[in-house]
Structure 1
Amino acid sequence: MKLTLLVLSIFILSSCDFILEKFSKKDDAVEQSFSVDSSSTDSKNINGEVRYKYPNGKLKSIVNYKDNKKVGVSMTFYETGEKQYEIPYVDGKKDGEVKWFYKSGRLYRLTTYRNGVKQGPQKKYWEDGKLKSEMDFENNMMCTGLKEFSNTGKQKTEPQIQVKHVNLLRESSMYMLELSLDKKFRDVQFYIGSLINGKSLPVKVNSHMSELETKKGKAVFKFSIPKGGKINREIPIVAVVKTSYQNYYILKTKANVSVRNPN
């Protein structure tokens, strides 16, 4: 019977960093230290400790199962042997503090999970133990309020959204908002819309907000006002900014637009 097992590893992607990777017996050597519950009606339940190995035979991870679900604290190791992750599971779901370590054994990142989703603070540390960054998650959603610190302990200043109003009503019945930040960042995306509960970025952001074409940290929001028409409203704006520490600032502001087309 072919078994496909899941083992935790690390990927760093452009949007965020994930630590789930699929392995099968044909790709990695797996030490057969688990037991199959033959009393189960489907005979597929895995119970006990499973040890996954790199192709060279070195230990990659240790995972405990009960009735085919991960339980207890799983551990993943660098190929050089040092511990990389500690991941607590309850009934197959991450629950507790997931820890990512430097090869030196010092803590690099701590993320709090509840019932399989990120819930609460995520902290990163410099290798000397000083706090590097801190941000909150709510039901897997990134929240406003990211704090980052240099290796000397100095807190970085959060960028701010800048809005420039451009009135083109006399020429084209168009009104524009030119969006940018007060600091330069390479990876910025602007949206028109509101955060959930005023602080949380939806996981499927494009289902909740309108994405603006953003180039070199700038975006333009255009809308038309018919002849003789008037607009008086607040336009909610959100910016998602990736930092050099691989974190994300979730920024928000509102543009007050009160204007009449005189034509």
Structure 2
Amino acid sequence: MTFKSLKQASQQLASMLMTQSKDTLKLVGGLFLLSTVVGCTAGNPYVHDADRDDVITLGDSIFDLSGEIQLFLEEEAGQTFRNYTQSGAELQGGSLAASVVDQYAAAKAANPNIDTIVMDGGGNDILIPAFLFDPYGCKTHWWRWDISNSCRNLVDDIYVQAVDMLNGMDADGVQDIIYLGYYYTTGMQSNLAKAVDYGDLRLEQACSFTTANCQFVDPRPVIVPDDIIGDGIHPATTGSRKIADLIWPRLSNVL
């Protein structure tokens, strides 16, 4: 291709982009911002070998983005644990990262001797659609003070998926599961508070009604806006420290 034809092709491409609909441009922009908000990078690599191979962590970018929660827990334990968390992970399915269900499958494939799981999951199942176009009505507004029935149905589906996953872990011989819930998002994401409340309610119920020995950890009482980084979602070092301090008493009792 000559320089002239390359220039013409570039001009044509620029012209095509300029004539795209506003919806398409909003989608592209939204996907770009979403990748930042959910912490969707390449993700930290799986850790298949640790001091305690029988202890694994699963979940999304609350754990994975900075990795500080796991570091604090390992400092307390004086031991390392296997880590399968992935930024952008949904509980089941999803296209941004390996889901929590898939993370667990990878952990079993590497070493099926799993006694204890520290995890979260389900937040991105709500956050990702809410951040783009909110098709389920999980955000509240001045004209809608509560989440919609569609949002409740979405969370109820997450509950069913969580119970099925936890029951499967129990059937595999996992002895203890510590399930971290979600805290309130801030800034532009603060209108997800009622979705967080309903989500945590259903995740706590999943922990209660599964056949597995599952302990639910609620971070809402301790995490304040200063404990969250500027994206309004992920924990700062102080937030990670507080979350680790909530998890550690449960974890130390089963190590």
TM class, shorter-length: under 0.3
Who wins on radius of gyration, i.e. which is larger?
Answer: 1
Choose between structure 1 and 2: higher helix proportion.
2
TM-score, normalised with respect to structure 2:
0.24
Larger relative contact order, structure 1 or 2 (CA cutoff 8 Å, min sep 6): 2
Which structure shows the bigger proportion of residues in strand conformation? 1
Q: Output the TM-score relative to the length of structure 1.
A: 0.23
